[in-house]
Structure 1
Amino acid sequence: MSTALTKAKGFKKSKSGTYLSIATTAFGVIGVAKQAKKARLESDTLRLIDAAVSAAAIVTGLAILYRELKRLGDDDVLLG
């Protein structure tokens, strides 16, 4: 079982794992967009601020993952 856990941790730090993390993080944009739209329709300033903060968190997360992807470069052993 330790080997499976080690492989999973290795995948998370691989290019493939980073791409998966980017896709998962980007998927959060849909929820934030719905939240912002609803907040605008209801003129709910607090929810609109929450949506803006969530969007900023997503952008920051994507930037960090992109930096990690660049750092991995062509060294990824899982992709070949």
Structure 2
Amino acid sequence: MSNAISKAKGFKKSKSGTYLSMATTAFSALSVAKQVKRARTEQDTLRLVDAAISAAAIVTGLAILYRELKRLGDDDVLLG
């Protein structure tokens, strides 16, 4: 069982794992977009602020993951 855990930890720090994390994080942006739309429709300022904070967290998370990719030696991830 510890071998499976080791493999999972290794995948998380691999390029494939980082790409998967980026995709998952970017996919959560859809939820935030829906939250913004709902907040505007209902004129709910508190939900709009929550969505803005969530969007900032997504951007920060993607930046951290991109930095991790660069550390792994994939400098051209956004170029092609």
Tell me the TM-score normalised to structure 2 length.
0.90
2:67 matches 1:38: no
Structure 1, residues 45-64: CA drift from partner, whole Å, max 9, x if none? Answer: 00000000000000000000
TM score, norm. by length of structure 1: 0.90
C-alpha deviation, 1:44, in angstroms: 0.4
Deviations 1:2-59 (A, max 9, x none): 1110010000000000000000000000000000000001110000000000000000
Matches within 5 A, 1:1-80: 1-73=1-73
**Cα separation, 2, equivalents of 1:38 and 1:8:** 37
Q: Tell me what 1:78 maps to.
A: none
Letter in 2 for 1:23: A
Instruction: Specify every segment of 5 or more residues in structure 1 that has no aligned partner in the other structure, as ranges.
Output: 75-80
Aligned length: 74
Whichever residue aligns with residue 58 of structure 1, its letter is I
Question: C-alpha distance in 2, partners of 1:4/1:73?
Answer: 26
